[in-house]
Amino acid sequence: MNNEFEEARASNGEDYDMTRDIVTALNSMVDSCIPQQDLSECCIYKVPNLLRNVKPEAYTPQLISIGPLHHGDAKLEIMKREKLICFREFKENKLSDERIMDLVNIIRNKEKNIRQYYSKNFNEIGSRDFIEMILLDAVFIIEFIKESNDVDGPKNLEPWMMCDIKEDLKLLENQLPFFIIEEIYDEVNRARQEIPSIPFLSLAAFHFGKIAFSEV
């Protein structure tokens, strides 16, 4: 009888040890798991491969990257220079370093919110690089749309670039949250005392309204 009791207790002990080990292992896996991006405000997604594989060029920027989803793509780096030229001329038009710092702070204060608009975490892009990227991209979009609505069009871009840029700016994966572009646009207009000015939504609607979407 005593032997049977000892065997039962030993068996229960082994069961307990295995149960404890399973719980410990699960806790370890859970602790090491990177939290999923909060999707409550997400509206900028990667296109599912099921769609992309049908016609990749219909969903992938061909000339310019906007936002983090295609940031760092080597074949799109040619436009980094154009963004910097655009930013230089943007800055030279009645914007001091202090005003540029104001724009940086607008983005910095909204960085967490901006990141939540994307379906993917971009922890590999540090805060400094992220803010710089958003500012350069937002300025390029604003200036491109404004100059495209002028008779002569953007003065620093080759004519062959225009169509590709227009198409790239329509792509789902190639977007910035609209609110941050609008805030920068409004702040710049206040700094330049360009009041009253055309609301950016109206400017963008006019710009894209006169461009036919490509067949995909």
Residue 44 phi/psi, 5-degree rounding, is -120, 110
DSSP-based three-state secondary structure for 86:
helix
Q: Are residues 111 and 204 located together in one domain of the fold? A: yes
Can you tell me the distance from the alpha carbon of 207 to that of 60, in angstroms, rounded to the nearest whole number?
21
Q: Are residues 190 and 106 located together in one domain of the fold? A: yes
Token pair for 141: 């979009």
Domain containing 136 equals 49-209
Q: What is the pLDDT of residues 123-171, one digit of tens each?
A: 999 999 999 999 999 999 999 998 887 777 777 888 888 889 999 999 9
Q: Are residues 29 and 53 located together in one domain of the fold? A: no
Check: CB of residue 91 under 8 Å from CB of residue 17: no
Please name the amino acid found at residue 115.
Answer: R
Residue 169 lies in a domain: yes
Residue 216 lies in a domain: no
Q: What is the pLDDT of residues 45-102, one digit of tens each?
A: 899 999 889 998 889 999 999 999 999 999 999 899 999 999 999 999 989 999 999 9
Q: Are residues 145 and 193 located together in one domain of the fold? A: yes
Residue 41 lies in a domain: no
Residue 88 lies in a domain: yes
Residue 215 lies in a domain: no
Total number of domains constituting the chain: 2
Can you tell me the distance from the alpha carbon of 69 to that of 86, in angstroms, rounded to the nearest whole number?
22
Residue 38 lies in a domain: no
Q: Are residues 6 and 98 located together in one domain of the fold? A: no
Q: Are residues 157 and 76 located together in one domain of the fold? A: yes
Q: Is 72 left (phi over 0), alpha (psi -120 to 50) or beta?
A: left
Q: Are residues 3 and 70 located together in one domain of the fold? A: no
Which secondary structure element, helix H or strand E, spans residue 14, and what is its range?
helix 2-32
DSSP-based three-state secondary structure for 41:
coil
